[in-house]
Amino acid sequence: MRLFRKIRVQLVIFVLVCYLVPAVVLGVYTGGPVLDDLRVRSESSLLTGMDYSLMLAEENIARLVALARDATYDGELTDAAARRDAGTLSDGDFLRLARSYIERKYSREGMLTFAACFTLDDPDLLLTTRGSQSATAAYLASAHEAVKAMGEALDTQCRFVQLDGGVYLVRNLMSLRMKPFGMLVLGVDAQKVTAPLTALARDWSARLDLRLDDVALEDMTGVGAAGPEGGWDALDEGRIASAGACQYALKRTSDSRDYALLAGLTLGRARLYGEIDAFRMLLFGLLLLLIPILAVITWYVYRRITRPIALLSEAAGRIEAGELGVTVPMRGEDELGRLGRAFSGMSLRLKELIDKTYKEEIALRDARIQAMQSRINPHFINNALETINWQARIEGSDTISAMVESLSVLLNAGMSRNNRRMVSLKEELEVARAYFYFVGLRFGDSLKTGIDAAPDSLDAIVPVLTLQPIIENAVEHGIAPAGGGEIRLRCARGGDALRLEVVNSGQPLQPEDRARIDAALRGDSEGGAHLGLANISDRLRLIYAGRADMRVFSDPDGRTRVTLEIPQDGIQ
């Protein structure tokens, strides 16, 4: 009994020491470094979000400024104005050209409510985009006279102005001699331009104030909170400062030479530092809760749980390290004994299942790869034979010999190659050249092809029949509908990866094509168009276990690009 009492006293002392020492240390530590770290993290989150959102908003503003400059730098309006001044272009033709340019350039820009221009000769004749009658009418009613008066002050600069609630971007139209011959007015959708900043402010339940040149937009999120005392100009740049009772403010400005932008957030303490206050309360509650819990569980944990769990944890660690079939020496009739026996049985069963599953997975992967490769062969062989038949009927010349040689390359790529599923890029380029030869016969001079392959990329390893389906897709969905164009294949090494790119200037991607291509790249395509792209995407996923990348997109020139990043550091 004395021994029991002694152990119990020691255990009580041990529990108190284990509780009081960490509680004191944790309280002191959390009262200083941890809470300071939470404060820094919260402020950094706001600052980072503000910087990122401001960058996105600046990109939107810079895009609008670039669009306004294009009216002069594109040369269409400038050339038309010069021809009109020289008498080689009538006023009516000039107005038609100007209206057509405004419609093409600005009608599809989502950040604009309307676009208009007028000449200094007849400033009341406004050339506008179609479908913007209401925005144009509001501009004419409240802002047109003020805009006309800005011309001399603007010179070659753009300016954002706010007139009767509307936001506009105004710029002079300059001739080749840098003399203004008209003005361009773009109606700006302020909500869309500043959407990144607005979204950030809503996430933080903050008031958002903006100044853009002559435009002042206050409380854009509608939270109703007051702005900083003394105004935004009194605050330091990029620092979270007190803005009144339980209010904090953050100001950021842009360093662009084309416009002046100021963005300011005002938010309450509860939103900025609420996590710190909640952490304090949570910590205090946990410390109180631990007092009875520690007294109850210490004895039980020590005698009945700690040691058996240690054995199980050690065995689990060995299994995690790759040692399969590990067992534990736990044979009792209680719950932990049954758990130990079940653990040992599951470990042995897991070893058997992993061995079996691994072998089945390897076999399945190889079968799927072979099956998907075979789906391509009949399609392109049939196309090649049809082309030979067509050429033989209309020519009867030695061209057939070259065609047969190219066909043999394609047949070898599709049916033979000694059952290999990985080949060198050099071999794949031979197949691509053979296919280019056939489509060149089909389209004649209306099709231009080219291969740019860096010498150090020729020894790279790629899955068999990777390039030919992509080129065929470019022909059938880009070149053929457009009646011609150019296909260029580029190959280059970059680090441990091979980059392949197929560019065609045929028919641009349509929205319905985009949806089908995305489905094919995800592996959701079942037959139909873009089967070749779906096949390649599936094979890359199987062979490289998700490390390869394939993308299809339209570049700024309207050309369709297919890019592949294929690892060269081994197959998973």
Q: Domains of the chain by range and CATH?
A: 33-283 (no CATH), 361-567 (3.30.565.10)
Helix or strand (DSSP H, E) at 437 = helix 425-443
Is this structure's pTM higher than 0.75?
Answer: no
> Average pLDDT in the 246-272 region?
84
- Over 60: is that where the pLDDT of 335 sits? yes
Residue 19 has pLDDT above 80, yes or no: no
Dihedral angle sign, alpha carbons of residues 299, 300, 303, 305: negative
Give the Å distances, CA to CA, from 368 to 324, 482, 538.
29, 35, 9
Rounded CA separation 175/105 (Å): 19
> Which region among 147-151, 219-223, 287-291 has the lowest average model confidence (pLDDT)?
287-291
**5 — pLDDT class (breaks 50, 70, 90):** very low
Length of the chain equals: 572
Mean pLDDT computed over 261-288: 78
Query: Would you say residue 397 has pLDDT above 80?
Result: no
- 357 or 9: which carries more pLDDT confidence? 357
pLDDT-above-70 percentage for the chain: 75
478 in Cβ contact with 450 (< 8 Å): no
Residue 68 to residue 118: CA distance in whole angstroms: 14
Per DSSP bridges, beta strands 447-453 and 485-494 are: parallel
Range with lowest mean pLDDT among 399-408, 428-437, 479-488: 399-408
pLDDT at 33 over 70: yes
Q: How confident is the model at residue 490 (pLDDT cuts 50, 70, 90)?
A: very high
Q: Are the C-beta atoms of 170 and 150 separated by less than 8 Å?
A: yes
Output the pLDDT for position 288: 75
Residue 488 CA to residue 470 CA, distance in Å, equals 11
For residue 119, count CB atoms less than 10 angstroms from its CB and return exposed for 0-12, middle for 13-18, buried for 19 or more.
Answer: buried
pLDDT at 28: 63
**H-assigned helices in 177-334:** 190-193, 195-203, 269-300, 306-320
Selected residue with higher pLDDT from 345 and 384: 345
Higher pLDDT pick, 272 / 6: 272
φ, ψ at 138 (rounded to 5°): -65, -40
Is residue 471 predicted with pLDDT exceeding 80?
yes
Listing DSSP states for 320-333 in one string gives HTT-TT-------S
Q: Residue 464, SS3?
A: coil
Q: Is the pLDDT of residue 188 over 90?
A: yes
Q: What is the mean pLDDT of residues 485-510?
A: 93
Segment 124-150 mean pLDDT: 87
Q: Is 421 exposed, middle or buried (0-12, 13-18, 19+ CB in 10 A)?
A: middle
Split at pLDDT 50, 70, 90, the class of 56 is: very high
What pLDDT was estimated at residue 541?
83
* Residue that wins the pLDDT comparison between 57 and 338: 57
Residue pair 243/225 in contact (Cβ under 8 Å)? The answer is: no
Q: What is the pLDDT of residue 458?
A: 92
Is residue 491's pLDDT more than 90? yes
- Its sign, for the CA torsion 187, 189, 190, 192, is negative
pLDDT at 329 over 50: yes
The mean pLDDT of the chain is: 80
Report, as an integer, the average pLDDT of 439-448.
89
Both tokens of 277, joined, read 């206050």
Mean pLDDT of 304-320: 69
User: What's the pLDDT score for residue 220?
Assistant: 85
CA dihedral 28, 34, 40, 45 (to 10 degrees): -150
pLDDT band at 2 (very low <50, low <70, confident <90, very high): very low
- Between these two residues, 385 and 77, which has the higher pLDDT value? 77
- The stretch 3-30 carries a mean pLDDT of 58
Beta 166-174 vs 560-567: how paired, if at all?
Answer: unpaired
Pairing type for strands 207-212 and 261-268 reads antiparallel
Tokens of 565: 């990043």
Evaluate if residue 391 carries a pLDDT over 60: yes
For 561, list phi and psi in degrees, rounded to 5. -120, 135
Helix H or strand E segment including 453: strand 447-453
Residue with more model confidence, 379 or 23: 23
Distance (Å, whole) CA 17 – CA 28: 16
pLDDT band at 268 (very low <50, low <70, confident <90, very high): confident
Residue type, 119: T
**Phi, psi (rounded to 5 degrees) for 499:** -105, 120
Most confident of 136-150, 330-344, 380-394: 136-150
Per-residue pLDDT band for 367 (boundaries 50, 70, 90) equals very low
Q: Lay out the sheet containing 207-212: strands in order across.
A: 215-217, 207-212, 261-268, 247-253, 241-242
Q: Structure tokens of 237?
A: 């740049």
pLDDT digit string, tens, across residues 215-258: 888 888 888 777 787 788 888 888 888 777 678 888 889 878 88
